[in-house]
Amino acid sequence: MTSDVDVHKYGTPLPLLEFDEVVPTKKPVYAQDQIATDDQGRRRFHGAFTGGFSAGYWNTVGSKEGWTPQSFKSSRSEKASGRVTQRPEDFMDDEDLGEFGIAPKGLQIQEDYTGPETSKEQRKRKFLQCDLKAIPGEPVLQQLLRPVKDKVSVRILKSWGWRPGQGFGPRQTRKEKKKARERNKKELYLLEKYGCDLPTNSKTANDTDDDDDDQDDGDDDSEEDDITFAPEDFEPIPYGLKEDRYGLGYKPLSRHSVLGGSNQSSSSVAAHKEHINLFKPLEMMGKNNQKISFAGQAFGVGALEEDDDEDVYATDDLTRYDFSLEDKKKPKKSKKALTPDELIFEDFHIDLKPDKPLEYKLEIPFGWQPRNWYEKRSRFEPLDPRTQRQLEKKFAKPQDTNADEGEMTRERRAELLGEEIKRKEEETKGNFVPPSVVKPSIAELQRQQKERQQKTQDLMEKISAKSSNFTRGGIITIEGEEKAAPPLTAEEISSAFKPFANDNAKQKRYEQFLAANLQNDHEIDDFLENIQPIELSLWDRQMEKKEFVQAKKIYRPLKGIMSDRFVTESQVKAEQKVAEIEKDPSKPIVVERSKMMWKPHSLLCKRYNIAEPFGGLMEDEKKKTKNKSKMSVFDYLETSVNKKEDFQTPVIIPKNVEKPQELVKQQTSDSANVTEEKEEGTVNLEWQDVLQGKTKATEEKSSFVFKPKTDLEKQVVESMDKPITEKKELFKSIFSDSESDGEEEDNSKPGQQPTDILNPLSKPLNAAAANLLRNNSPPRGIFKALFNVPVNNTTESTKSEEEKPQLKLNEVVEKQNDIEMKEPAKETPKQIETTKILFQPKSSREPKENSNSTFTSSLPSANTTELYGPSLPSNLKANDNTKTSASSSTSAAAIDAKLLELFNKHKPSARLTEVWVEKSSKRNSSDSDDDSSSSDTSSSSDDDDVKHKKRSKKSKKKKSSEHKHKKHKEHHKSSKKSKKSDKKKKKKHKKK
């Protein structure tokens, strides 16, 4: 029976039950009642197998506070150091790192772990032969340099089952092992002891060993011998060369003094002087006068010797020594070793006549090349010849047996396509001569191109015509006839595609057949019969014939058609270049110069140290954009016309003045009076828009002399005048005392109204050109009343017409004056020559106003054609004629002087206006008078004409009122001036 001691316990034993204890009834816990808990006993209800895959804090993130993201901070001064390293463990819970977690942190044995000796220090065997070397100990280099991998031999051993720490040799039983150990120990002992010392304690040591062994033996007795062990690893005994004649392992004391120097025994003087020299053989005189000398290290035992237990007086046991070379233990061992008989099973017996010893002869396969498979090898290295051959075989095409047919080179392709080998020539030439020189002439190329086109065209026709029998396989020539292929030359045949390349004989026959170029079926038969070998059957012959005929048709070197269809790349390129070069001379580049206004930013000017052009009064693009960005209801009203870009100031084509390069005009757009705006508010703005639009529309249609042709135009003209009349009506209705009273009131109080309303008309008129979007239909609803023209107002309107030209003129002139207005007005019109910008004194318009006011009515004269735009009223013309045509400068100057006075009266201050840039490049610098007048006339003539017609239609009434109206208008002008000046002030303020 085995005792308890022998039993290995595994696990914790159940507590012993007392007999009297009542065994608790065990209720089985059902699966649904089981609770999964984690290490802390917290309940975890998922993760079936390992007792809970706990997720964070109660199945939420991280901790009670939640999951806090890692902060990342990096500033310009303090850069974050590298990348934040995050490991998966950062996101795991403690349980995950436990034994059963997803990332256990416990220690684990590596796969190839075999024992403690695998550690690097132990991997190399220690050698004992330290004393054989000059420097004792393990060589330093070997300590330093350790191979990464095991040696191949070690790997092989390992693969055989060897583990480090084991010895080599056949497996041993316990006894064998023990004996081997003993023996080894003895050897070691001998080595260590007798290498330098007398064996003193060998016996005792042996005895102790024996005791152990005896014990072991006692244990072993029970065991059987069939348990074998790996032999122990013994240190190999190093053997040194024997250089002296001492006994084995005996090492005498060195004769040399420890302290150095020469201490020779022969010198007696020295000997006397010396004390007892320990290192000399101690000489004593024996009883019989014998000289006894002791020498060697073994002399005496020092008090300081470590080995106190050593039996100093023990005699060396000679049994330790082998007296002969025969091995005593050998018979024992051989007995232990299994005899062959023992190894054989019952039914087997040893073959007593063994065959002749096996000759191991490896048959190395042909072409085998040794290779170290541990050596990595690039796949781009050349393959070893055998595999290469195999690969070649594998991928070689059956028809590739003919070497020259195997690879399709570019030249070959070119040959097949019937292409002249131009390329090469071009390549050779191209390096030295510019390509343009090499190219064929343009005419030639064109001719070729034409020919080719012609050919292909013809061919296409013929192909389509012959599509029914196209499969016959003949060659359709350019002539369209399917004629028999011309005989091939020998060279062609050889170069042609070889359809029977896999059968050389057949191919040869085929070539012969081709060379013979037989047309007749019978001839072919005869011919083939001659060349075909006899062993071919009749059927084969027939087949071959068919094949040959087919092949001949199919495989022909590409000539003719194909060469026509394909063009070499070089040719194409050459053509392109020719075309390019051709293009160039035909179109000599002419630089077109155009100029426009450009406003440099004030800061830019400052930085460039340049005064701003025009004192910084140029139109600013930014403002424009800013204005645009604001959305207002009126954006819809001013469609395309009111944008400044769309305005086109009238272009003057004067007769006597040469055309200037550029025309830059600065005009005001401030037609609306401030007061008016205040009174009428937004409605007034609308009005202006409408009026502008109408006038523009009409102006567009009129060429020079305005004649309203359509009803619409008339309506438009009427509608223009309505505001005034309407106002009057309004006032009448308010202050309805009498007609005259009403008119008086008109004159006195809202005196400037009519002109105010007309002001918009005096804007540059051809700006209206585009305003066709405006609704020109007759007014309806509320507006109908507004637009209704009372009959009695016609005269008034005529007057206003007459005055309008002046007003417009004023406007234009004013605009041109704007810049100059800042400075006090000068008598003579000022002109800047270089910049070609018009500056005209305000006075220039005054005389005309005055003079114009005196004229009652007029008709457009014939000489209006001189001027651009609608004609002036004749009276104005007359005035102009008298003034300008005779001596424009002098008379104008005189008038100017007068007007200046007038002007100065009314002019409180200069004013700022917006700048208008004319898009068209033409500009009139010299004739400011003409300019202004023409613009005047344009508007005035419109009105005039309309009014004339009206007048003719309607009876002329209210002459008095007309008169009054004139007065009123004059009055208004003065007031307007003042207003304008006000405005200027305001604008200035704004700008500032």
> Of the candidates 344, 596, 674, 785, which one interacts with other proteins according to CB under 8 A?
596
Closest contact distance (angstroms) between CB of 763 and other proteins is 25
How does DSSP classify residue 715?
A: H
Contact 426, 414 (CB under 8 A): no
For residue 330, the Cα-to-chain-centroid distance in whole angstroms is 84
Number of residues near other proteins (by CB under 8 A): 27
Of 312 and 596, the one with the shorter C-beta distance to other proteins is 596
Q: Which two tokens stand for residue 812?
A: 């234009």
Binding segment for other proteins (CB under 8 A), chosen from 470-478, 591-599, 630-638, 885-893, is 591-599
Q: Is 604 in the site for other proteins (CB under 8 A)?
A: yes
Q: Is 432 in the site for other proteins (CB under 8 A)?
A: no
Q: Is 832 in the site for other proteins (CB under 8 A)?
A: no
Binding segment for other proteins (CB under 8 A), chosen from 225-233, 323-331, 533-541, 594-602, is 594-602
Of 332 and 601, the one with the shorter C-beta distance to other proteins is 601
CA distance 240 to 129: 8
Residue in this structure with the two tokens 């495989």, named with its chain if needed = 555
Binding segment for other proteins (CB under 8 A), chosen from 58-66, 375-383, 607-615, 666-674, is 607-615
Binding segment for other proteins (CB under 8 A), chosen from 164-172, 606-614, 705-713, 847-855, is 606-614
Of 39 and 612, the one with the shorter C-beta distance to other proteins is 612
Q: Is 835 in the site for other proteins (CB under 8 A)?
A: yes
- CB half-sphere exposure, 491, CA atoms < 13 A: 2
Of 835 and 978, the one with the shorter C-beta distance to other proteins is 835
Of 270 and 618, the one with the shorter C-beta distance to other proteins is 618
Of 412 and 601, the one with the shorter C-beta distance to other proteins is 601
CA distance 923 to 918: 8
Interstrand relation of 831-832 and 172-173 (parallel, antiparallel or unpaired): unpaired
- Tallying the residues shown for the chain, one arrives at 992
Q: Which two tokens stand for residue 845?
A: 């318009």
How does DSSP classify residue 211?
A: H
Between 959-991 and 794-821, two packed helices, what is the crossing angle to 10 degrees? 30
Helices (H), 824-863: 845-854
> Of the candidates 407, 592, 711, 833, which one interacts with other proteins according to CB under 8 A?
592
Binding segment for other proteins (CB under 8 A), chosen from 96-104, 124-132, 472-480, 611-619, is 611-619
Closest contact distance (angstroms) between CB of 597 and other proteins is 6
- Which one, of 885, 874, 850, lies nearest residue 940 by Cα? 874
Q: Is 589 in the site for other proteins (CB under 8 A)?
A: yes
Q: Is 97 exposed, middle or buried (0-12, 13-18, 19+ CB in 10 A)?
A: middle
- Which one, of 666, 632, 637, 661, lies nearest residue 649 by Cα? 666
Helices (H), 252-366: 268-273, 330-336, 340-343
Of 101 and 600, the one with the shorter C-beta distance to other proteins is 600
Q: Is 462 in the site for other proteins (CB under 8 A)?
A: no
Contact 963, 795 (CB under 8 A): no
Closest contact distance (angstroms) between CB of 651 and other proteins is 19
Q: Is 444 in the site for other proteins (CB under 8 A)?
A: no
Q: Is 595 in the site for other proteins (CB under 8 A)?
A: yes
CA distance 99 to 18: 36
Q: Which two tokens stand for residue 289?
A: 């006068």
- Which one, of 691, 675, 667, 764, lies nearest residue 981 by Cα? 675
Closest contact distance (angstroms) between CB of 621 and other proteins is 9
Contact 225, 173 (CB under 8 A): yes
> Of the candidates 79, 593, 989, 990, which one interacts with other proteins according to CB under 8 A?
593
CA distance 936 to 938: 5
Residue 52 identity: G
Closest contact distance (angstroms) between CB of 441 and other proteins is 21
Of 120 and 587, the one with the shorter C-beta distance to other proteins is 587
Q: Is 475 in the site for other proteins (CB under 8 A)?
A: no
Of 599 and 804, the one with the shorter C-beta distance to other proteins is 599
- CB half-sphere exposure, 772, CA atoms < 13 A: 4
> Of the candidates 101, 167, 440, 613, which one interacts with other proteins according to CB under 8 A?
613
Closest contact distance (angstroms) between CB of 76 and other proteins is 10
Of 363 and 592, the one with the shorter C-beta distance to other proteins is 592
CA distance 896 to 902: 10
Contact 619, 914 (CB under 8 A): yes
Q: Is 778 in the site for other proteins (CB under 8 A)?
A: no
Q: Is 329 helix (H, G, I), strand (E, B) or coil?
A: coil
Name the CA radius of gyration of the chain, rounded. Answer: 64
Q: Is 922 in the site for other proteins (CB under 8 A)?
A: no
Q: Is 938 exposed, middle or buried (0-12, 13-18, 19+ CB in 10 A)?
A: buried
> Of the candidates 127, 279, 555, 614, which one interacts with other proteins according to CB under 8 A?
614
Closest contact distance (angstroms) between CB of 586 and other proteins is 13
Q: Is 579 in the site for other proteins (CB under 8 A)?
A: no
Closest contact distance (angstroms) between CB of 501 and other proteins is 44
Q: What 3 state SS string does 499-554 have?
A: CCCCCHHHHHHHHHHHHHCCCCHHHHHHHHHHHCCCCCCHHHHHHHHHHHHHHHHH
Q: Is 425 in the site for other proteins (CB under 8 A)?
A: no
CA distance 206 to 510: 101
Q: Is 610 in the site for other proteins (CB under 8 A)?
A: yes
Q: Is 919 in the site for other proteins (CB under 8 A)?
A: no
Binding segment for other proteins (CB under 8 A), chosen from 227-235, 312-320, 321-329, 598-606, is 598-606
CA distance 439 to 443: 11
Q: Is 601 in the site for other proteins (CB under 8 A)?
A: yes
Q: Is 308 in the site for other proteins (CB under 8 A)?
A: no
Of 649 and 934, the one with the shorter C-beta distance to other proteins is 649
DSSP string, 805-824: HHHHHHHHHHHHHHHHHTSP
Binding segment for other proteins (CB under 8 A), chosen from 293-301, 487-495, 583-591, 896-904, is 583-591
- CB half-sphere exposure, 776, CA atoms < 13 A: 19
> Of the candidates 101, 600, 779, 908, which one interacts with other proteins according to CB under 8 A?
600
- Which one, of 271, 277, 283, lies nearest residue 258 by Cα? 277
Binding segment for other proteins (CB under 8 A), chosen from 494-502, 596-604, 814-822, 948-956, is 596-604
> Of the candidates 605, 712, 832, 893, which one interacts with other proteins according to CB under 8 A?
605
Q: Is 344 in the site for other proteins (CB under 8 A)?
A: no
Phi, psi (deg, nearest 5) at residue 257: -65, 145
Q: Is 438 in the site for other proteins (CB under 8 A)?
A: no
Q: Which residues inside 616-655 make contact with other proteins, applying CB under 8 A?
A: 618
Q: Which two tokens stand for residue 666?
A: 């600065």
> Of the candidates 270, 597, 712, 730, which one interacts with other proteins according to CB under 8 A?
597
- Which one, of 884, 890, 982, lies nearest residue 929 by Cα? 884
Q: Is 612 in the site for other proteins (CB under 8 A)?
A: yes
Q: Is 782 in the site for other proteins (CB under 8 A)?
A: no
Of 514 and 917, the one with the shorter C-beta distance to other proteins is 917
> Of the candidates 599, 727, 948, 976, which one interacts with other proteins according to CB under 8 A?
599
Binding site for other proteins (CB under 8 A): 584, 589-601, 603-605, 607-614, 618, 835
